[in-house]
Amino acid sequence: MGAQAVLRTRRIELVPLGDEHLEAEVELDSDPEVMRYLTGRASTRAEVVERHRRRLAVAHVVPGLGFWAALVDGAFVGWFILEPPERPDQGPVAGQAELGYRLLRRHWRQGLASEGARELLRHGFADLGLARVFAETMAVNAASRATMAALGMTHVRTSHLDQADPLPGTELGEVEYATTRAQWLSRAGAGPASA
Ligand SMILES: CC(C)(COP(=O)(O)OP(=O)(O)OC[C@H]1O[C@@H](n2cnc3c(N)ncnc32)[C@H](O)[C@@H]1OP(=O)(O)O)[C@@H](O)C(=O)NCCC(=O)NCCS
């Protein structure tokens, strides 16, 4: 398995994130509502440029994993990620990936996050041979938690990470949701999960 695949769902084309998506990432991260449970404020252009560099680097850690730009009718609506675990408490890098998603606010509540993420679960388990996919968010991030639940991921733990500058709601902790390949296969039944 080499470079990241191009993936498609009914509405979304998922293409490996590239420099051509930088301006859209700047727009995405400059919305304080999008960043509410991440940094709690709009990002500056310089911050997004630095983040973009790190996002591209993720594609070089484990073959097949990385960031995908999500396009609907050719226009950027947000991004999805499958990335290797970064912290020791997240478990082994081999066979695991962390799922994430971030969409422009005008595209929320249209089923796009669950549609794109469902395809990434399929890709991770069926094409890349992953054993487990997990996702983390602040306990108070209802939209993200509902998306995880909609994907069939289940709550594993709530933890309290030491943070220098905690956001409102940090006191309720960070939640981890996960699903294993076996669970995904049993949910998908005999056929692939429909997108
Ligand atoms: C999280 C996010 C990607 C969800 O995107 P979305 O396209 O609106 O999600 P979907 O429309 O696919 O909805 C998925 C499920 O979540 C539910 N949901 C979405 N937003 C919700 C909200 N604000 N409150 C409660 N439930 C919500 C939907 O009803 C749906 O559940 P269902 O299948 O049981 O009906 C989007 O809110 C976002 O980009 N937020 C900012 C970035 C962020 O916080 N990312 C996660 C950080 S870890």
The residue-averaged pLDDT of 46-68 equals 97
pLDDT exceeds 50 at position 190: no
Q: Which residues lie with the beta carbon below 6 Å from any ligand 1 atom? A: 34, 37, 100-103, 108-114, 137, 141-144, 146-147, 150
Reported as a pLDDT band with limits 50, 70 and 90, residue 195 is very low
The residue-averaged pLDDT of 182-187 equals 95
Token duo for residue 193: 């999960």
Q: Which domains does the chain have, with CATH numbers?
A: 7-188 (3.40.630.30)
pLDDT of residue 161: 82
Q: What are phi and psi of 186, to 5 degrees?
A: -70, -35
Q: Count CB neighbours of 185 within 10 A.
A: 13
What average pLDDT is seen over the chain?
A: 95
The residue-averaged pLDDT of 59-67 equals 96
pLDDT of residue 191: 52
